Amino acid sequence: MAIKQVKIADEELNAIRQVRAKYEQIMFQLGQTDIQIHDTERILKELESRRKEHYDNYTQTQNDEKNLFDNLSKKYGVGSINIDSGIITQEIPDEPTK
């Protein structure tokens, strides 16, 4: 079997090189984008974990507040507390008149 070799025109060879270079550029950009997505997903997971921790702390603080006010109500009775002075104001119902 005979083999024939023909040289293509320089413009055609350059066009092939440009297409290959474009593929390489696209592959590089895809790799960069994939790494950015990976990093962003990792950051998002960290943020979601922090948000859950904050919500858990919020819920725990609500429970602590409820327990504190329940204990204060048992000790001093139900009323409004002035945070600045520490004075509890209670509404005492009038005694029925006879």
Per residue in 36-80, pLDDT (tens digit) is: 999 999 999 999 999 999 999 999 999 999 999 999 999 998 889
User: Are residues 90 and 73 in contact, defined by beta-carbon separation less than 8 angstroms?
Assistant: no
pLDDT band for position 31 (cuts 50, 70, 90):
very high
Nearest CA-CA partner of 68 in 55, 56, 83 = 83
Alpha helices in the chain (DSSP H): 10-76
Question: CA-CA distance, 67 to 74, in Å (whole number)?
Answer: 11
Check if the beta carbon of residue 79 is closer than 8 Å to that of residue 91: yes
Strand partners, 89: 80
Closest CA to 91 of 75, 73, 78: 78
User: What is the reported pTM?
Assistant: 0.62
The tokens for 42 are: 């990792």
